[in-house]
Amino acid sequence: MLFLIILILSFAAAYFLPWWAVAIAAFLAALFIGKTMKESFWSGFGGVFIVWTSLALFKSIPNDQILVKRVAQLFHLPHWTLLLLVTAIIGGLVGGLSAISGFLAKKAVSSKD
C-alpha cells in the first residue's frame, strides 16, 4: 500500500514540480502510513526508481535519445541505458532515505519515554 501511494504521489510531484518534490512525497507517505523502517525504505526506493525511469524514458524516447546519448558520452559510459540506470538509482536513494526519515520522524514523535 505504501509503495503504491509513494508511486502515485511521486509521479504527480515529479511531473509538475521540481526534482526534490519526490522526497517530500515519500517523506509524507511514510510519515502517515509507514509501518517498518525496511518497508518504508524499499517502498520509497522502488516508487521513485520506477517514476524516474518512466519519466526519463517518456522524455527521451520521442527524440531518439539524442541528449541522453550525448550526456552518456560525456561521462564515458558505453550505452545510454547506463545513464538511465544511474539516474534511477540516485532517485531511488532520494526516495528511500526520505521515506526512512518520515518513518523515523513518526517514531520519534509517537514514542513515549
Hunting for cell 521540481 — which residue is that?
18
Which residue ranges of the chain lie beneath pLDDT 70?
A: 111-113
Query: What pLDDT was estimated at residue 110?
Result: 86
Q: Count CB atoms within 10 A of the CB of residue 26.
A: 34
Q: Whole domain around residue 8: which residue ranges?
A: 2-110
Query: What pLDDT was estimated at residue 112?
Result: 63
What's the number of domains the chain is made of?
A: 1
**Gyration radius (Cα) of the chain, Å:** 16
* pTM of the full structure: 0.89
Query: What pLDDT was estimated at residue 6?
Result: 95
Query: What pLDDT was estimated at residue 41?
Result: 97
Query: What pLDDT was estimated at residue 105?
Result: 95
Q: Which three cell numbers stand for residue 34?
A: 509507514
